[in-house]
Amino acid sequence: MRILAVDTTTGSGSAALVEDGRVRAEIGVDSFGTHSARLPASIDVLLKSLRWTLAELDGFAVTPGPGSFTGIRIGLSTIQAFAFASGKPVAPVSSLRAMAWKLRNDGVPSVCPLHDAKKGEIYAALYSFEKTKMKALVPEGAYTPERLLKLLPKGRKILFIGGGYPLLVSAMDGGRKDKAVLSPRTPFIAPEVGLLGAGIIAAGKGIAPDKLEPLYLRRSQAEEGR
C-alpha cells in the first residue's frame, strides 16, 4: 500500500511517502508562513524521487489538527484536491496522536504531545502504549498549563514532545520541573501520519475528501470575534 502523508499544523511542516509499513521518503522544513508555497513542491520532489505518480497511490493521510488554523486549511485543501482528482480515500490523523506515535518505541509508559495553541493555552493529550495500541489517558484538548498539570498523573514517568513544552514547564514547580523530560526527536510527523493513516485505510475506514473536516479543539479568532 502506498500513501502520501502531509502535516501542516505547525511551522514544522512535512510530507512523506509510505509503502507497506515503511517510510520511503520524507521532507521536513521548520518555517512558519510558507506552507502554501513549499508543500506542492515538496510533494513533487517526493513523488519524482521514487518515480511514483498520484495514480499509483492507494490513498492519502493528513493531519486535520489541532494546530495553526491557517496551516490546517492548507494541508486539508491540498489533500482534498489530490483525493478528488484520484478518487482515493483519505485518512485523517490527529497531529497529537502522530507526535505521540513517534515515541512508541522509546520505552516510556506515557507520552504527552504538546502544541503551543497561543493565547496562553496548549493543545495536548496524554497517551500510553500497550504493544501496538495507543490509549488516551488525558483526552485531546486546549488546556491552560495549570489545568493540564492537574490532569497529568504525578509520579508517573512522562516523556514530552512538541513546541508547547516551554509553556508547560514555565508553570511547573521546582520538583516537577526537574523531572520533566523533553524528547530530542524532530518535530516532523508526516511519516507517523502516513503509518497511522495506512492502517486506517487498510481497515476500510478511509473517508471521501468531502467528508474531511478540520480538528480545531477551540473556536478560531474570527469566530470568537463574532
CATH number, domain of 143, equals 3.30.420.40
Residue with cell 485543501: 77
pLDDT at site 225? 44
Q: Which of 182, 198, 214 is the last residue of a domain?
A: 182
Domain count, the chain: 2
Is residue 81 domain-shared with residue 21, that is, in the same domain? yes
CA distances from 166 to 42, 50, 60, 91, 207 (A): 30, 38, 33, 31, 36
* Position with higher pLDDT, 1 vs 173: 1
Measured between alpha carbons, how far is 166 from 189 in angstroms, rounded to an integer? 20
Residue 180 confidence (pLDDT) = 86
Check whether residue 79 and residue 128 sit in a common domain: no
What digits encode the pLDDT tens for the residues 194-210? 999 999 999 999 999 99
Residue-wise pLDDT tens digits, 26-59: 999 887 557 787 899 999 999 999 999 999 999 9
pLDDT of 33 reads 58
Question: Quick one: 138 and 162 in the same domain?
Answer: yes
Same structural domain for residues 26 and 54?
yes
Among candidates 62, 83, 86, 84, which has minimal Cα distance to 74? 62
C-alpha distance across the termini of the chain, in Å: 45
Same domain, 167 and 221: no
Candidates 184, 191, 194, 183; CA nearest to 28 is: 191
Q: Are residues 121 and 139 in the same domain?
A: yes
- As a whole number of angstroms, the distance between CA 59 and CA 203 comes to 12
Beginning with the edge strand found earlier in the chain, give each strand of the sheet holding 110-118 in spatial order.
Answer: 133-143, 121-130, 110-118, 158-161, 181-182
Claim to verify: residue 12 and residue 64 sit in the same structural domain: yes
Shared domain for 6 and 90, answered yes or no, is yes
Residues 84 and 157 in one domain: no
pLDDT digits (tens, 9 = 90+) for 152-180: 998 788 999 999 999 999 999 877 888 88
Cell match 486506517: residue?
A: 200
Q: Can you name the residues that pair with 29 across neighbouring β-strands?
A: 13
Domain extent at residue 125: 103-182
Q: 77 with 124, same domain?
A: no
User: Residue 97: how many CB atoms within 10 A of its CB?
Assistant: 19
Shared domain for 24 and 133, answered yes or no, is no
The predicted model scores a pTM of: 0.93
- Mark whether 163 and 111 lie in a shared domain: yes
